Amino acid sequence: MSIVDAIILGLVQGLTEFLPISSSGHLVIAQYLLGLPTQDVAFDVALHVGTLFSIFTIYFSLLKKVLVKGLLSRDLFKLKNLESRLIFMVLVASVPTAFIGLVFRHQLEAMFSDMKSLGICFILTGVILYLTRFMKSDTTWTKDSLKSLTGVEKITSVKAFLIGTAQGLAIIPSISRSGTTIITGLYLGLPGPTVAMFSFIMSLPAIAGAALLELKDIPLTSARWEIIAIGVFTSYLSGLLGLLTVLKVIRKGRLELFTGYLILLGVWVLWKMA
């Protein structure tokens, strides 16, 4: 893999991780077009770590408040404040995500080499996004939304579990993690800013856990540190742009804007690559 390849894949990962169009599916396509192997585990993990840093950057103030007031609370599991409630709900959501990831990991990863499934799932994601135009959701957004926990009180254990299940199913390539979790939250009646924040924060343990799971199987001598560093930095910067873009789209309640692109992409994959 060259430096140019690393930059291109970093850009693809960062821009598509948060937009509801599937980063995993786009990485498969990008690697195919660049003539690269589709399973470069060390590099894929690096790209996801880069986007993880993007979430920390955008939600830094909120995460700092949650960690200070939530984790240090003596009554963490009594849910006496919104910070404790958010931490608890992220833990609840992580249970089905971890279960699906650990139990069905290899079966779902095998789908990365099935271009027919890739194309079909792109089209399916596009259709699901289109259906959001018929949903009514509170998308009231203020300049303090990135620092506010308003709406967290509406997240119940059942809703958190269902959103976590959606996150787990998004292991399937070309099924968008952010799109699936945000749409699930909106269908459950959660406000747009709240479900967006919850979707991205609940992805932190999922991304970190997946990275650790993969890293244990990677011999350190095989790592190409220069390429990996470039991939992390590029995916981080483009991840910032992707995250801010999708927050703007959610604020306007226009997730269906990506429908046409995903359907055309799915049809192209079925025609060209399947």
**Mean of pLDDT values over 106-135:** 80
Q: Which residues contact 188 (CB under 8 A, 6 or more apart)?
A: 159, 162, 163
Model confidence at 115, pLDDT cuts 50, 70, 90, reads: confident
* pLDDT value for 192: 83
Model confidence at 156, pLDDT cuts 50, 70, 90, reads: very high
Average pLDDT, rounded, for the chain: 83
pTM, 2 dp: 0.86
> Which of the two residues, 119 and 104, has the higher pLDDT score?
119
Model confidence at 1, pLDDT cuts 50, 70, 90, reads: confident
Backbone angles phi, psi at 141, to 5 degrees: -130, 130
- pLDDT of residue 76 exceeding 70, the answer is no
Q: Which residues contact 141 (CB under 8 A, 6 or more apart)?
A: 192, 193, 251
Model confidence at 158, pLDDT cuts 50, 70, 90, reads: very high
**Mean of pLDDT values over 149-155:** 87
* pLDDT value for 257: 85
Give me the residue label for tokens 């609840």.
92
- Least confident stretch, 32-41, 87-96, 233-242: 32-41
* pLDDT value for 232: 92
Q: Where are the domains of the chain?
A: 3-272
